[in-house]
């Protein structure tokens, strides 16, 4: 006997939706940029406020009775593979790690629940950042965890995480800070095509490669515990500077130089005879990009410490992260970074281990390490401190010409330059005297690039002095540069070789076999399991 079949509601599933036209997507993006342009400064100020309120206390995670820091790479590898399989947004990964760290800093987590917390955090972040079609389902999460947890446990953990975080997932991520830094440096990228590997790339391609390499370094920083002690904006800025220098671009360093001048101009002290708006007296100053946490001597110290930890962390980079960026957009970023580290090995061999930064506020870098770190960031023309000198600035109100001698007599061929100065001075040295001539032209970053350091006993901090006054006689009211010795160098950028591998394709199947000898025993016990399932089983070893 015939019986009616139940009909499913909704649109027919056999009809595939038409792809979104690229022109419409471009027009929508430009319209969104135009809409938020009036609120850009408010957004930046809000991100700076949220960053100061969402810093994670990693010392609280140290008190976990069962969770140890050596378990963190296994969980991150598992999450990166899931994140890559579902083609989620980059912001989703950083938000999921933030949720994990925040929850572990406030609640006791047992080993058997560590993977549950990680998968639930990724599920929450995907619902917060991605579109609905990309969000993993409960069934898929259960399969990836090899049925170690049922679907009800994910729902219960989701409620517990949200209650712990007071239902607030707002924070300033590495992706947010990186995009702000990239936006401020895009205008300084050279229009001339540049050869990278065996191909020439235009301005847009170079900007895309700087962004991808910077994001690779940001994801690399997630593996290191000591990066939690730094503001995300500082870590993202260090990743951007290092990535631009690796690709041979001065855009990040030049944008950093102009940002310092803008910061000092916006936060300078007014003279007694200078009038200002009284309504602005009690208002918080606007944040200057990319310094969401402000700019001081500590900022430059943290940049140097960040690049040291990045170089050390890459030496132990996991296979999952390498596989993600070995074939990214037909470009091997892992080989690119590896070749760069090999070329600068004489500079990095004196770098301390990451254990030296257990308390990053108290740890200090040697002056040689500080020079080498800023050289890798593209802020110094030489990694060796004996090629640069520091001359103390003249006292306030001193004349432009003086007979003050430098701390260290320069050689016959040495002249000076500083990319961080805020007083426009041009120095002409003789053997015994120092004459100062005011400069009427802005800093030329392409011709001169150097760094200057504190001449105190520890000799470990890069000094960026705030100007004591503004000379109104300079053109357009530009502040003077600090007094520094300039050294000209013949800097020849290294030549890199790259390999082009086909791009990554989205894989949502779970039947891939692997030939990795490290997981031979696991594959024998679980034949036909996918890398995600193998990673899940490795995580279950700690349960």
Per-residue DSSP letters for 360-388?
TTT----HHHHHHHHHHTTS-S-S-GGG-
Residue where a domain terminates, one of 319, 342, 377: 377
Q: Does 215 share its domain with 364?
A: yes
Which is nearest to 117 in space by CA: 156, 167, 77?
Answer: 156
CB distance 74 to 223 below 8 Å: no
Task: Give whole-number Cα distances, 522 to 116, 145, 529, 540, in Å.
Answer: 21, 15, 9, 12
Find out whether 411 and 278 touch, Cβ atoms under 8 Å. no
| DSSP H or E run through 200 | strand 199-201
The CATH number given to whatever domain includes residue 313 is 1.10.472
Does residue 444 have a pLDDT over 60?
no
Taking residues 377-397, report their average pLDDT. 58
Q: Which pLDDT belongs to residue 87?
A: 93
pLDDT at 97: 97
Based on the fold, state whether residues 81 and 98 are members of the same structural domain. Answer: yes
Q: Is the pLDDT of residue 457 over 70?
A: no
Provide the 10 A C-beta neighbour count for residue 157: 20
Q: Are residues 72 and 129 in the same domain?
A: yes
Strands (E), 315-431: 425-429
Report the run of H or E that residue 305 belongs to, with start and end: helix 297-314
Q: Count of CB atoms within 10 A of residue 537's CB?
A: 18
For the ranges 16-25, 225-234, 381-390, 502-511, the lowest mean pLDDT is seen at 502-511
Between these two residues, 21 and 509, which has the higher pLDDT value? 21
User: For the CA atoms of 479, 484, 489, 494, what is the dihedral angle to 10 degrees?
Assistant: -70
Query: Do 153 and 227 belong together in one domain?
Result: no
pLDDT at 223: 96
DSSP codes of every residue in 136-185: PPHHHHHHHTTTSS-HHHHHHHHHHHHHHTTT------HHHHHHHHHHHH
Q: For all residues of the chain together, what is the average pLDDT?
A: 74
- Domain around 149: 58-165
Q: Which of 81, 77, 80, 65 is nearest to 113 (CA)?
A: 65
Which positions ≥6 away from 74 have C-beta within 8 Å?
A: 535, 538, 539, 542
In terms of average pLDDT, the best of 301-315, 356-370, 432-446, 483-497 is 301-315
CATH at residue 103: 1.10.472.10
Q: What is the percentage of the chain residues whose pLDDT exceeds 70?
A: 65
Flag whether 327 is in a domain: yes
| 24-73 residue pLDDT tens | 988 998 999 899 888 998 999 999 999 999 999 999 999 999 999 999 99
Torsion of CA 232, 237, 243, 249, to 10 degrees: 160
324 pLDDT more than 80: yes
Q: 130 vs 277, which has greater pLDDT?
A: 130
At residue 455, does pLDDT exceed 80? no
Among the residue ranges 12-26, 257-271, 328-342, 497-511, the one predicted with the least confidence is 497-511
Same domain, 232 and 338: yes
Asked if residue 540 has pLDDT above 70, the reply is: no
Instruction: Report the alpha-carbon distance of residue 451 to residue 421 in Å, rounded.
Output: 9
CA 533, chain centre distance (Å): 30
Q: Establish if 300 belongs to a structural domain.
A: yes
- Does 223 lie in the same domain as 156? no
pLDDT tens for 466-503 read 333 333 333 344 333 333 333 333 333 333 332 332 33
What's the CA dihedral at 183, 189, 192, 195 to 10 degrees?
A: -100
Q: Which two structure tokens, joined as six digits, stand for 14?
A: 């056999």
pLDDT of residue 359: 87
Confidence band of 281 (pLDDT split at 50, 70, 90): low
Q: For residue 245, tell me if it sits in a domain.
A: yes
Q: Each residue of 147-161: pLDDT tens digit?
A: 999 999 999 999 999
Q: Are 360 and 226 in contact (CB under 8 A)?
A: yes
Question: How many domains does one find in the chain?
Answer: 2
> What is the rounded distance in angstroms from the CA atom of residue 249 to the CA atom of residue 251?
6
Q: Are residues 161 and 181 in the same domain?
A: no
Do both 332 and 184 map to the same domain?
A: yes
Q: Is residue 439 part of a domain?
A: no
């Amino acid at each position: 006997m015939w019986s009616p079949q139940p009909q499913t509601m909704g649109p027919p599933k056999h009809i595939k939706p038409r792809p979104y036209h690229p022109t419409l997507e471009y027009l929508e993006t430009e319209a969104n940029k135009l809409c938020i342009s009036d609120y850009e400064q408010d957004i930046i100020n809000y991100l700076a406020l949220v960053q100061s309120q969402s810093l994670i206390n990693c010392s609280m995670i140290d008190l976990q009775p069962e969770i140890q820091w050596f378990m963190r790479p296994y969980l991150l590898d598992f999450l990166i593979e899931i994140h890559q399989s579902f083609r989620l947004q980059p912001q989703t990964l950083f938000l999921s790690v933030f949720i994990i760290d925040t929850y572990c800093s406030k609640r006791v987590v047992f080993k058997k629940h560590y993977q549950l917390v990680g998968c639930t955090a990724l599920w929450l972040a995907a619902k917060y950042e991605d579109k609905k079609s990309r969000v993993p389902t409960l069934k898929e999460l259960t399969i990836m965890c090899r049925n170690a947890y049922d679907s009800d446990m994910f729902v219960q953990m989701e409620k517990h995480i949200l209650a712990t975080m007071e239902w607030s997932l707002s924070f300033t991520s590495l992706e947010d800070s990186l995009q702000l830094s990239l936006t401020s440096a895009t205008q300084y990228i050279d229009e001339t095509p540049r050869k990278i590997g065996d191909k020439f790339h235009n301005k847009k391609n170079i900007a895309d490669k700087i962004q991808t390499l910077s994001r690779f370094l940001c994801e690399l920083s997630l593996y290191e515990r000591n990066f939690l002690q730094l503001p995300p904006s500082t870590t993202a800025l260090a990743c951007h500077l290092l990535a631009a220098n690796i690709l041979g671009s001065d855009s990040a360093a030049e944008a950093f130089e102009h940002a310092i001048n803008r910061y000092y101009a916006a936060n300078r002290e007014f003279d007694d005879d200078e009038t200002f708006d009284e309504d602005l007296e009690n208002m918080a100053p606007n944040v200057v990009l990319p310094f969401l946490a402000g700019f001081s001597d500590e900022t430059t110290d943290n940049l140097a410490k960040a690049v040291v930890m990045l170089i050390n962390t890459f030496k132990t980079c996991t296979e999952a992260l390498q596989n993600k960026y070995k074939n990214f957009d037909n470009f091997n970023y892992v080989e690119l970074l590896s070749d760069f580290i090999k070329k600068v090995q004489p500079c990095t061999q004196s770098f301390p281990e990451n254990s030296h930064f257990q308390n990053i506020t108290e740890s200090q870098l040697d002056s040689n390490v500080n020079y080498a770190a800023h050289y890798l960031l593209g802020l110094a023309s030489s990694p060796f401190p004996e090629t640069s000198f520091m001359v103390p600035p003249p006292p306030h109100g001193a004349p432009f010409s003086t007979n003050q001698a430098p701390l260290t007599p320069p050689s016959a061929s040495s002249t000076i330059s500083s990319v961080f100065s805020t007083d426009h001075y041009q120095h002409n040295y003789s053997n015994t005297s120092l004459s100062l001539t005011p400069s009427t032209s802005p800093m030329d970053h392409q011709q001169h690039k150097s760094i200057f350091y504190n001449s105190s006993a520890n000799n470990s901090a890069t000094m960026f002095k705030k100007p004591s006054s503004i000379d109104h006689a300079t053109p357009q009211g530009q502040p003077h540069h600090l007094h520094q010795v300039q050294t000209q160098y013949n800097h020849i950028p290294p030549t890199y070789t790259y390999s082009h591998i086909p791009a990554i394709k989205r894989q949502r199947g779970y039947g891939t076999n692997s030939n990795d000898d490290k997981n031979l025993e696991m594959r024998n016990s679980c034949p036909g399991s996918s890398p995600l399932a193998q990673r899940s089983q490795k995580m279950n070893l700690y349960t």
